[in-house]
């Protein structure tokens, strides 16, 4: 990550290198994914113990993935109508 304060010529050269810029962009993507997981419910783990923590995190990741899949389906227009089981799509 870039350092605070006035940059020295060495720091300026290091931070403008292609690898540094690429890694800084990847860090931004990771922070974005963490924020998305927090909004999917993985920000608080009320259960105690490692096994329950892992289950809770897995549910947060699952919620995130379902949200992304839903966005993709809506963007591609694959979802036209939804009928519930036992319901008729015809009007009575």
pLDDT digits (tens, 9 = 90+) for 39-89: 766 677 677 888 888 888 788 788 888 888 888 888 887 666 666 677 665
- Containing structural domain, residue 39: 9-74
Assigned domain for 79 exists: no
- DSSP annotation of 38 reads I
pLDDT of residue 36: 75
Assigned domain for 92 exists: no
Assigned domain for 86 exists: no
Assigned domain for 26 exists: yes
Q: How many domains in the chain?
A: 1
pLDDT of residue 32: 80
CA distance 43 to 41: 6
Assigned domain for 19 exists: yes
State the CB neighbour count (10 A cutoff) for residue 60.
20
Assigned domain for 3 exists: no
Check: pTM over 0.95? Answer yes or no.
Answer: no
Are the CB atoms for 14 and 20 separated by under 8 Å? yes
Predicted confidence band at 92 (pLDDT cuts at 50, 70, 90)?
very low
Assigned domain for 59 exists: yes
């Amino acid at each position: 990550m870039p350092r605070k304060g006035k940059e020295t010529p060495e720091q300026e050269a290091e931070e403008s290198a292609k690898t540094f810029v690429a890694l800084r962009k990847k860090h931004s993507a990771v922070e974005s994914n963490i924020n998305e997981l927090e909004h999917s419910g993985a920000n608080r783990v009320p259960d105690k113990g490692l096994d329950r923590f892992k289950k809770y995190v897995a549910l947060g990741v699952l919620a995130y993935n379902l949200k992304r899949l839903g966005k993709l389906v809506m963007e591609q227009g694959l979802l036209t109508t939804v009928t519930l089981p036992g319901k008729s799509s015809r009007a009575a």
